[in-house]
Structures are given as structure tokens and as C-alpha cells.
Amino acid sequence: DAGITQSPRHKVTETGTPVTLRCHQTENHRYMYWYRQDPGHGLRLIHYSYGVKDTDKGEVSDGYSVSRSKTEDFLLTLESATSSQTSVYFCAISGGWTEAFFGQGTRLTVV
Amino acid sequence: DQQVKQNSPSLSVQEGRISILNCDYTNSMFDYFLWYKKYPAEGPTFLISISSIKDKNEDGRFTVFLNKSAKHLSLHIVPSQPGDSAVYFCAASARDNNDMRFGAGTRLTVKP
């Protein structure tokens, strides 16, 4: 299995609070991604990174920011959590434009 | 703007029969296509892929077919086994743009 770890695995937070999810890899892969999974929508790309300090927006980036200060870590921040951001978040890593390897997911509930 | 579409939310087949999962895409820049399998409470796992220069790729019981003119791909599982029961996601990516897009998924149930 690819060395990819998400933390925390579960989190409950209140509306309006900032939340940061962490993705850590030990594979030295260049590309890292954050997706959210919601019923009926599949996996939707939030942000991705193609190198240290190089990031770009995905299809559902509003309300989210990311940072990648070193190869192994990719942080996703919900600047002010809303109930619509209740979801399961997956981090993925890839060495190129081919297959990606996913973490176990973080279940976030915003109350 | 969903660029990858899986129009069948669910599929049920009998053990031993063929399962066919379908996927359509709209972006002609996509040149690499993948299928992922997901069990509950786990992350998706890579299953099989195909490059746009091919029309078929086979790996054991799994075969992916690509029809570029129709912007359509399909995953065939034969024979289907109860352990294949999972949600299957179709995904696509482009060489010059590394954001990988996914469909909504198809839940496959293989009945013993």
C-alpha cells in the first residue's frame, strides 16, 4: 500500500470555526490531491498540488484553501466551516498523470 | 460541469455472470482513463486503466474498453464474484493538466 496518512480520521466541528485536515505521504510523489465524496456526486476535486508551494483549484474550491510547504505534507483548510462542508474528504497522491493512491479518508461533520 | 459521468447509480448481477459498468466523458483532452473500486469506510483503490492510444486493456477478470469517438468507456468483470460488490468510480485525466476527474460512481452488487 502507498504510504499515505490522513489526520484526523473523524472530526466534529461547529459552524464558523476553521478546520485543517492533514495529508502526509512517504512516497515522495510530486502530485497531491484533496477530494470530497458526497452521495450522488462521487469524488469531486477541491484543490491539488504539483509541487512544493505549487497548487491549483479544482472544481469545488470555494471555502477551502491548501498549503504545501514540503513534499510530504498537503494541508486542507476550511476557513469558516459550514454545514455544506460536511463530507468525507480523501487525499490522494500520484507520481504523474496516471493512477493515484488514496488515503483512508476523513469524515468531517459541521454542526 | 461534470466532465465524467456514470449514469447508472447501481447494478445487480448474479455470481458468475458478466458485470458491465459504463462511463461517459465530455472533455476531449482526457487521454488516460481509470477505474477505482471502493469499499465502505475505505479509500478508493486503483483497479485498471487505459491510455487513449489503446481501445482495450485486460487484467485477469477485468477488462476496460475505450471508444474515443463516442467518448465512452466500460469496465467488464467476468466472472463476477460476491467480493466484487463495491462502488466503482470511473476517472479521467489529461497529460497536460493533472487534475483527475471522477464520475459519481456505480454500486455493484453481486448476488451469490
Domain residue limits, chain A: 4-110
Q: Which tens digit of pLDDT belongs to each residue from A58-90?
A: 989 999 999 999 999 999 999 999 999 999 999
Grid cell, residue A59, equals: 472544481
Q: Per the CB < 8 Å rule, is B44 touching A43?
A: yes
- Is A74 in CB contact (< 8 Å) with chain B? no
- Chain A, nearest residue to B35 by Cα: A99
Domain count, chain B: 1
- Chain B, nearest residue to A41 by Cα: B104
For residue B83, give the 3-state DSSP assignment: helix
Whole-number pLDDT of residue B15:
97
Query: Which burial class, exposed, middle or buried, applies to B41 when counting CB atoms under 10 A from its CB (0-12, 13-18, 19+)?
Result: exposed
Q: How far apart are the first and last CA of chain B?
A: 38
Whole-number pLDDT of residue B71:
97
Whole-number pLDDT of residue A2:
61
Residue B100 binned pLDDT confidence (cut-offs 50, 70, 90): confident
> What is the DSSP secondary structure assignment for residue B84, as one 8-state letter?
G
Q: Per the CB < 8 Å rule, is A42 touching B104?
A: yes
Q: Which residues of B touch A90 (CB under 8 A)?
A: 43-44
Nearest to A109 by CA among A1, A8, A14: A14
Angstroms from B100 CA to nearest CA on chain A: 8
Whole-number pLDDT of residue A98:
77
Residue A1 binned pLDDT confidence (cut-offs 50, 70, 90): low
- Chain A, nearest residue to B44 by Cα: A102
Class of domain A4-110: mainly beta
Grid cell, residue B64, equals: 476496460
Q: Which residues of A touch B36 (CB under 8 A)?
A: 102
Which of A61-70, A87-96, B41-50, B89-98 is predicted least confidently? B89-98
Whole-number pLDDT of residue B2:
79
Please report, as a single letter, which amino acid is at residue A3.
G
Sheet holding A19-25, edge to edge: A4-7, A19-25, A73-78, A64-70
- Is B20 in CB contact (< 8 Å) with chain A? no
Average of pLDDT values for A42-69?
A: 94
- Is B37 in CB contact (< 8 Å) with chain A? no
Of A40, A42, A45, the CB nearest to B99: A45
Around A67, how many Cα atoms within 13 Å sit in the side-chain half-sphere? Answer: 7
CATH number of the domain where residue B101 is located: 2.60.40.10
Q: Per the CB < 8 Å rule, is B99 touching A58?
A: yes
What is the C-alpha separation between B112 and B108, in angstroms, rounded? 13
Say if residue B73's pLDDT is above 90: yes
Domain around B30: 4-111
Is the peptide bond prior to A39 cis by the omega test (within 30 degrees of 0)?
Answer: no
Q: Which tens digit of pLDDT belongs to each residue from B17-32?
A: 999 999 999 999 999 9
CB of B21 closer than 8 Å to CB of B33: no
- Is B94 in CB contact (< 8 Å) with chain A? yes
Share of chain B above pLDDT 70, in %: 97
Query: What is the pairing mode between strands A10-13 and A19-25?
Result: unpaired
CA triple A68-A6-A47, angle to 5 deg: 45
